[in-house]
Chain A
């Protein structure tokens, strides 16, 4: 129960952080990605702030036998680079630059009630299902293996 409350509270805090930092505004995101235009470096500061805090928390967590409210840590373990990782990140980046939304800000912005955000989020969900579907298709035909099923490797 406490663990679920933590998830809920963290979700609220995450959304507030996104809103305060400017991540919910595509004009800021696209401004950050526009290196050859009127570059807006703000989002580099978002990453800096988030990484500075999480870097310390992660070091701390390494000394803990288990998290405070759960039996164990579930962290990604892979360190190999593969084509799926790079191709996936490249496709995600293209969509990010095209729309100006990544998943967290898009979901948070549903609260604005704006129709374009709903359309983006629905398309994003379909994109995720499309990946699952192609994965399963690949698993059954084994000639078109795209990606293994979702696993603990997810970042």
Chain B
């Protein structure tokens, strides 16, 4: 019982972090049809921005809870600054081209952003663990969890719910859905498709940055943090179905729980567990769990 509870909490905690990042990836793919490799770089940039923002708050001698607000604002600022430049200045020139070309373009962005990050923040690590201690510890049986880890679960639920509500219950969400189904028809109905693309890309970038920002207190922020996250995020969205919010949630949950099972019961199969689940899903539902089969346009 204790073990089952531990696996559940560990799986949920890992899935929450993963969901926030994967949600941005799946949103960008759903709307813009871009497999955005640079998503990992935006995650890293979010972590760096948050590290700088928290350091600023610490120097202001205000309540340490402001550091949470600073992390959120860091993600917002990054999305507001970088997304329009990237989407309007680069990606839009490749819309309608082969998807493989777009993957290569975003991979080039990934490499450039790695170096740009290093030029701005250097190679030394940044530590901003103060927010990690804000919520104390919570005991579950023989385990002691840091409250901050559980805050991420709440954050993931809030972000996921807000995204679902925004896409399914608002006028703008209906417009986005129309663009997803057919940009040409949406444009003929007076929708500014380019604006929808920019907003969707900004939201995707914001979610990557948010994931990075709220991970920053748990890690040392340094070059290379962008690599691991993008690979596992791809596994999540492939399991759930590219472009599906529900799919990202279920995919993250499956990956989180599969990994927690493996780490506790068969540590050597930690990576294998994630990708065997992915392989099984692809075997029976190649389009992922939550994506409907779509007719190819001719």
A and B physically associate? no
Residue positions of A touching B, CB distance < 8 A: none
